[in-house]
Structure 1
Amino acid sequence: MAHKRPYHCLVMLFVLGICFEASLGDTDAQILMRFKGSLWNGQALNNWGSESSLCSWTGLLCRENQTFYGLRLEHMELGGKIDIETLVELPNLVSFSVINNTFEGPMPEFKKLVRLRALFLSNNKFSGDIPDDAFEGMRRLKRVFLAQNGFTGPIPKSLANLPRLWDLDLRGNGFGGNIPEFQQQDFRVFNLSYNQLEGQIPESLSNKYPSSFAGNEGLCGKPLSSCNGNESRSLKPNLASPHSKGKKHGVLIIAIIVVTVVAFSSVVALLFIHKHRRKRSKPGILPKRGTSHKSVGFKESQYSVDLTGDLKGGDGELNFVREDKGGFDLQELLRASAVVLGSGSFGSTYKAMILSGPTVVVKRFRHMNNVGKQEFSEYMQRLGTLTHPNLLPLAAFYSRKEDKFLVYDFAENGSLASHLHGRDGFVLNWSTRLKIIKGVARGLAYLYENFPGKTLPHGHLKSSNVVLDNSFEPQLTEYGLVEVMNKSHAQKFMAAYKAPEMNEFGRPNVKSDVWCLGILILEVLTGKFPANYLRHGKGGNNSDLATWVDSVVREEWTGEVFDKDMLGTKNGEGEMLKLLRIGMFCCKWNVENRWDWNEALAKIEEVKEKDGEDDYSCYYVSEGDLNSKTMTEDDFSFSVTNG
């Protein structure tokens, strides 16, 4: 029988081989093809299976080493079943997105995907209550976007208990009940607006923006209005109860009183408006002492101001700094029809339409007492000699002890901030945004060339200080004012003093303006306002725009960074990625690794409106290399896909 042992061994090895091969399971490609079979309207995925390289399949996310890690099936009109049991077989799946499709019904059991770090289901037709344990075990989950669906019921406690949750967007659903206590409090994105939530907002969320809770009439407490006692504004009485019936008459009486007061107020208001209109022809652009104007944000405020008497104590005349300007004097400026454009940390800004003359912008500065009258005049004359297509020309100035007034040319299309963040602004497409960034960089470079010995040639570069002419060509304003600004006020409010080196060294660097340029690039590409500019004081922090972009690129895909209003540009995403990369290197925390203005300008000039032959649709940065303080240029790489 001994001679049969080799045969038995061969049989055994063959059987073990089959068992071993079976234990390996299907490949990622086979699993994905099975997943595709559960979907409806899968025409957008027609190249699945036909392409030899998995990372060339539409909607697949791959790292630089061609390792598959996520599905991004967005804007494809997909529907059907999201087969979780099949997705569980993908060991490397950490990101899943089906934004803007037609999936419907209850939320699938994503908790089975315990490795998932990002879940995007926004803009579908999912509905119904989400089970309280729907997110149990998903300890790696950092980003949850469920906006614009039909979800109802309370917010799951398992979602609130996620330890690493950074981004949460539940807006536009029907979630009800009280907001649970979230374990994670330092959110980058947090939005519960336009649901049916009620009760008092947890104290841990009181530092969020009011817009995060808008559209929930039953909510109260900071940052919204205070609650009445221990009751929510949303707690409505049971009108069928005897107690509430007894109150009906009282409510009716109150309603009658309110209607009477409103009617009387309307009559008074009409009389006031009629009287006010008769006074609107009175001249003046400067506010009276003691008058306070709230910021009008990014939208022009259409009201005149009668403020001529506030100019006493000045030098008596407008000082023109350019020979090509003039043709009007101080009295003509005071008689001009004027409207308030905005109010900021330095003072108010006005648009003045001079009769039989030009339209100009007058900026009032209350914190320019750093130099004497003669020195201030000489410095303004120097600023007046600067001529560049991307600088808003200074035309004149008016000086007095309390404050200064600078007169600039008027830009027809307002500020860049008004278009990026204003509700009524013209939507800027990719080509216009690229044009704006190139113009801003050229204007900044011109300032560096003309102020070679100055640490901050601009000092206050931000989107509200970039204005656009009638062809949307950008022009910088409020440049070169660090020299004449009170130091304490500059450190508290000027953009360059928000650079991270202020925390480390207590003073700006020659690259601090470049940091502002980088933040501006990221703002233009993302459409997000740099919230760190709103905080008073110097130095950056861990919640600034640059850190947020770093984290999104590190965690997921760069496409999530871009402003949705800018997307849809044919063959332009690769160039957008190049500009994003430039912005990140311009605002690196480590000053030594940050690009200087020469390199930044050269790189920006290389960016084109459309891609070349390569289509960069997936941008990946190694997580281990994405420390914003140590990152080098070689750390960045592109993963080329056709997705």
Structure 2
Amino acid sequence: MEIVKHRSMDPFFILLLILLTAPSLPLADLDSERAALLALRSSVAGRTLFWNATNQTPCNWAGVQCQDHHVVELHLPGVALSGQIPTGIFSNLTHLRTLSLRFNALTGSLPSDLASCVNLRNLYLQRNLLSGQIPLFLFNLPDLVRLNMGFNNFSGPISTSFNNFTRLKTLYLENNRLSGSIPELTRLTLDQFNVSNNVLNGSVPVKLQTFPQDSFLGNSLCGPPLSLCPGTDTNDSSPFTTDGGNTSKKKNNLSGGAIAGIVIGSVVFLLLLVFLFIFLCRKKSSKTTSAVDVAAVKHSESDVPRDKSIPDMENGNGYASSTAAAAAAVVAVNKVEANGNGNTAGGAKKLIFFGNAPRAFDLEDLLRASAEVLGKGTFGTAYKAVLESGPVVAVKRLKDVTINEKEFREKIEAVGAVDHQSLVPLRAYYFSRDEKLLVYDYMSMGSLSALLHGNKGAGRTPLNWEMRSSIALGAAQGIEFLHSQGPNVSHGNIKSSNILLTKSYEAKVSDFGLAQLVGPSSTPNRVAGYRAPEVTDPRKVSQKADVYSFGVLLLELLTGKAPTHALLNEEGVDLPRWVQSVVREEWTSEVFDLELLRYQNVEEEMVQLLQLAVDCAAQYPDKRPSMSDVVRSIEELRRSSLKDEQDQIQHDNNDIEL
């Protein structure tokens, strides 16, 4: 009887057992995933993987995202991971959909258990030191949409098994050591593709010929979009090649007399060219003139050779290197004015200074100064002028001024009257019919744009969090002061090349008030990355539009990316949209400049400044804060950052005492 009774209770006990254990099954899975993440951390280190091992759930760890009690995304970009990833970690992370390990120092080959992550959609491995052939097990992940393995040491051929990735949209394999030919990837429908700087040879497959040349450069490839492959005859339909192999025979049918005639004709033609050249030179040298043609000077300025390693100011890189031709151009322009060509009925023109400061130099001193080109900006070309008496000034030569002299003087005198520690002061100006010059204090450290996007080598000055937040605050204070001058007063051209820096890296805003002096055609499309969507006329920029431009500037400061780049990332969108998409779809640290990722004690402040930048760059003007609100927010987060730093120092000192 007992046995029967016991058996009759079996279903009840089984059901009870299921009910009691079912809730713990997801937690058990999460425990295994947590253990796998901790094993990954212990294997490859990482200066920013400060995961709290006592926390039972990894879903609150930085870079980890969960869904339905499983880790589905792991974002660890630029966190100094090093060494080889061991096998046995990803077999416990089988629900991963996104894995980002880019910008680290991982070595060796990929672990074979990565094939267990069958749900993987996005795999970002670029800029590591991974090596070996592209493993075959990788092709067991047919749902991949984005695959970036660029800037590693992968070798061997590109397998035809890439055709397994029927959903793949992005394939980046550039800057590796891949060899052989590119296979026919007929089953793929790619939006983005790059295999440049490998050891590939052969012809570009027909289906990939729609991608630009940059996708294939640095190899031994041929065919569209590159040059034609050797042996390809573009004149197959020509009557000279219709008789099979007799082409060479036809070429040899020329008689000796015909050849001699061709040679004699060529010599006569060359002699005629020489005589014509001598005649033109003598005619030109016989002409004399008592004055320099301003138009010719402007033409020579446009032909100044530039150091291509340092882009011009409009591209955001501030002060460029000097050239003798450019120096001669500006001196020649000044001589035009000094010789009287720029005079009007009022007599000889001169520099007009602002304020009551002593006149340390005059126009004569300026034209005798040695000059070098700083760069070409939205409103004209800027020069560095070193005066014989010692001072160094920056001279901006305006272009496309559309207003008359009276209106120009009224507007420029209003600019000269503005005085604030975060603004580059306008010291003097010069006006004539043909030339308009502005004289500013010279900022020796150049522009923020040059510091962010210029030298990337060993001599680069890294911008830490303290410097960047200080620059952001200084620029914001300068713009806030401009806005305080009246509801209709705005800057109109806020961008990183107009944020100049002193020797102590204090930010000063330049080029304010100049948008009112020139025509709308003077603002090129290249500054559209900073321009608010509602702005149609660059001369009519509201204060809210200034806030938008400043928001883009903040994003540039935080990400290290210039908004004027054609492609900022794999999605190829503008800077505000790119940041918003990454924050929405991935972990926020993906957007930060690598130089900022080492400062983990200020992560919260960095995220706060990023959120402020996104608010400033809101699509609709009424959603944007005022510059006063922006200044207060930056001041608060800088105070918070300073307090955290002091607390950390005190904590370290206490540890030392103990």
Q: TM-score, normalised by structure 1?
A: 0.73
Separation (CA, whole Å) in 2 of partners of 1:564 and 1:37: 25
Query: Contact between 2:126 and 2:149, CA under 8 Å: does it hold in 1?
Result: yes
Alignment match, 2:73: 70
Separation (CA, whole Å) in 2 of partners of 1:179 and 1:466: 49
Alignment match, 1:265: none
Partner secondary structure for residue 595 of structure 2? coil
How far did 1:491 drift?
7.2
Alignment match, 1:314: 342
Alignment match, 1:196: 199
Query: Contact between 1:141 and 1:165, CA under 8 Å: does it hold in 2?
Result: yes
Separation (CA, whole Å) in 2 of partners of 1:55 and 1:146: 29
Query: Contact between 2:115 and 2:138, CA under 8 Å: does it hold in 1?
Result: yes
Separation (CA, whole Å) in 2 of partners of 1:118 and 1:498: 32
Task: Verify: 1:434 aligned to 2:469, yes or no.
Answer: yes
Task: Verify: 1:100 aligned to 2:104, yes or no.
Answer: yes
Separation (CA, whole Å) in 1 of partners of 2:617 and 2:81: 35
Query: Contact between 1:77 and 1:102, CA under 8 Å: does it hold in 2?
Result: yes
Alignment match, 2:609: 579
Partner secondary structure for residue 33 of structure 1? helix
- 1:605 and 1:614, CA in 2 relative to 1: closer, same or farther beyond 3 A? closer
The farther-off stretch of 302-311 and 133-142 is 133-142
Residue-by-residue CA offset, 1:585-606 (whole Å, 9 max, x unaligned): 1001122222222222221221
How far did 1:85 drift?
5.8
Map residues 107-506 of structure 1 onto 2, 5 A cutoff.
108=112, 110=114, 112-130=116-134, 134-135=138-139, 138-139=142-143, 141-142=145-146, 144-154=148-158, 158=162, 163=167, 165=169, 170-176=173-179, 177-178=181-182, 183-185=189-191, 192-198=195-201, 202-206=208-212, 210=214, 216-218=218-220, 227-228=227-228, 288-291=297-300, 292=302, 293=304, 296-297=310-311, 298=317, 300-304=320-324, 305-307=327-329, 308-310=331-333, 311-312=336-337, 313-315=341-343, 316-324=349-357, 326-369=359-402, 371-423=403-455, 425-454=460-489, 457-490=490-523, 492=525, 498-502=531-535
**Paired residue for 1:30, among 21, 28, 32?**
32
Task: Verify: 1:565 aligned to 2:595, yes or no.
Answer: yes
Separation (CA, whole Å) in 2 of partners of 1:511 and 1:172: 43
Q: Name the amino acid aligned to 1:11.
A: D
Query: Contact between 2:384 and 2:393, CA under 8 Å: does it hold in 1?
Result: yes
Query: Contact between 1:413 and 1:472, CA under 8 Å: does it hold in 2?
Result: yes
Separation (CA, whole Å) in 2 of partners of 1:483 and 1:379: 8
- 1:50 and 1:491, CA in 2 relative to 1: closer, same or farther beyond 3 A? closer
- 1:330 and 1:218, CA in 2 relative to 1: closer, same or farther beyond 3 A? farther
Separation (CA, whole Å) in 2 of partners of 1:66 and 1:323: 71
Alignment match, 1:86: 91
Q: Name the amino acid aligned to 2:362.
A: D
- 1:329 and 1:565, CA in 2 relative to 1: closer, same or farther beyond 3 A? same
Query: Contact between 1:134 and 1:158, CA under 8 Å: does it hold in 2?
Result: no
- 1:49 and 1:586, CA in 2 relative to 1: closer, same or farther beyond 3 A? closer
Query: Contact between 1:497 and 1:508, CA under 8 Å: does it hold in 2?
Result: no
- 1:317 and 1:38, CA in 2 relative to 1: closer, same or farther beyond 3 A? closer
- Structure 2: runs of 5+ lacking an equivalent: 233-293, 312-316, 344-348, 646-658
Alignment match, 1:244: none
Partner secondary structure for residue 306 of structure 1? helix
How far did 1:441 drift?
0.3
Q: Name the amino acid aligned to 1:183.
A: T
Residue-by-residue CA offset, 1:150-194 (whole Å, 9 max, x unaligned): 34422777389665746x654432123349777343x6xx76554
Residue-by-residue CA offset, 1:540-573 (whole Å, 9 max, x unaligned): x982101111111112111111111222125111
- 1:413 and 1:125, CA in 2 relative to 1: closer, same or farther beyond 3 A? closer
Q: TM-score, normalised by structure 2?
A: 0.71
- 1:459 and 1:85, CA in 2 relative to 1: closer, same or farther beyond 3 A? closer
Query: Contact between 1:461 and 1:513, CA under 8 Å: does it hold in 2?
Result: yes
Residue-by-residue CA offset, 1:32-90 (whole Å, 9 max, x unaligned): 32565588636677967533343355x5514799974433454243534243662354x
The farther-off stretch of 37-46 and 5-14 is 37-46
Partner secondary structure for residue 408 of structure 1? strand
How far did 1:320 drift?
1.9
Residue-by-residue CA offset, 1:330-384 (whole Å, 9 max, x unaligned): 1211111111111244432211101114101111221112x11111012111111
Query: Contact between 2:372 and 2:384, CA under 8 Å: does it hold in 1?
Result: yes
Query: Contact between 2:87 and 2:111, CA under 8 Å: does it hold in 1?
Result: no
Alignment match, 2:555: 522
Partner secondary structure for residue 420 of structure 2? coil
Separation (CA, whole Å) in 1 of partners of 2:127 and 2:30: 28
Partner secondary structure for residue 126 of structure 1? strand
- 1:18 and 1:507, CA in 2 relative to 1: closer, same or farther beyond 3 A? farther
How far did 1:144 drift?
2.9
What is the aligned length?
544
How far did 1:130 drift?
1.8
- 1:50 and 1:196, CA in 2 relative to 1: closer, same or farther beyond 3 A? same
Partner secondary structure for residue 580 of structure 2? helix
Alignment match, 2:564: 531
Q: What's the % identity of the aligned pairs?
A: 29
Alignment match, 1:266: none
Task: Verify: 1:607 aligned to 2:649, yes or no.
Answer: no
Separation (CA, whole Å) in 2 of partners of 1:66 and 1:159: 33
Query: Contact between 1:460 and 1:496, CA under 8 Å: does it hold in 2?
Result: no
The farther-off stretch of 320-329 and 557-566 is 320-329
Separation (CA, whole Å) in 2 of partners of 1:529 and 1:155: 36
- Structure 1: runs of 5+ lacking an equivalent: 233-284, 536-540, 616-643
The farther-off stretch of 329-338 and 502-511 is 502-511
Partner secondary structure for residue 582 of structure 1? helix
Separation (CA, whole Å) in 1 of partners of 2:431 and 2:199: 55
Alignment match, 2:64: 61
Partner secondary structure for residue 82 of structure 2? coil
Query: Contact between 1:179 and 1:197, CA under 8 Å: does it hold in 2?
Result: no
- 1:52 and 1:289, CA in 2 relative to 1: closer, same or farther beyond 3 A? closer
Alignment match, 1:641: none
What is the Cα-based RMSD across aligned positions, in Å?
4.2
Alignment match, 1:261: none
Alignment match, 1:262: none
Query: Contact between 1:111 and 1:138, CA under 8 Å: does it hold in 2?
Result: no
Residue-by-residue CA offset, 1:470-493 (whole Å, 9 max, x unaligned): 110011111111211102334756
How far did 1:447 drift?
0.8
Q: Name the amino acid aligned to 2:436.
A: K
Q: Name the amino acid aligned to 1:415.
A: S
Query: Contact between 1:40 and 1:79, CA under 8 Å: does it hold in 2?
Result: no
Query: Contact between 1:337 and 1:353, CA under 8 Å: does it hold in 2?
Result: yes
- 1:357 and 1:105, CA in 2 relative to 1: closer, same or farther beyond 3 A? closer
Q: Name the amino acid aligned to 1:118.
A: N
- 1:431 and 1:160, CA in 2 relative to 1: closer, same or farther beyond 3 A? farther
Separation (CA, whole Å) in 2 of partners of 1:155 and 1:478: 54
Alignment match, 1:598: 628
How far did 1:385 drift?
0.8
Separation (CA, whole Å) in 2 of partners of 1:534 and 1:347: 27
Report which of the two has the higher share of helix. 2
Partner secondary structure for residue 73 of structure 2? strand
